Amino acid sequence: MSQESNGIWVVVHVWRGFASNVRLFRREDLAREQENIWKKECNSDYDDTGVFCVHIDSQVSV
C-alpha cells in the first residue's frame, strides 16, 4: 500500500448512477477502509465505489 505524501485520497460512492458521497483522506489505508464500508452497502448491479489519488501542485493558482 503506497502512501502518497503530496496527494489526497478521494473516495467516491456512486448510488444508482449518481455520485452520492465523496470523502477526502490523507492516507490511502483510511480511504480503502471507507471504500470497504460502502462496498458492503452496494448493489453490484447499480452502485459502485472508487478510490483515487489526486496530486496537488502548489505552483498552480486558481
Show Cβ contacts of residue 50 under 8 Å, excluding neighbours closer than 6 positions: 11, 12, 14, 35
**pTM of the model as a whole:** 0.76
**Cα–Cα distance between 9 and 52 in angstroms, integer?**
6
Mean of pLDDT values over 21-28: 96
Q: What pLDDT is attached to residue 1?
A: 45
Are 49 and 35 within 8 A, CB to CB?
yes
Provide the 10 A C-beta neighbour count for residue 25. 17
pLDDT of residue 61: 62
Instruction: Determine the Cα angle at 55 with ends 53 and 57, to 5°.
Output: 170
Question: Hey, where are the domains in the chain?
Answer: 7-55
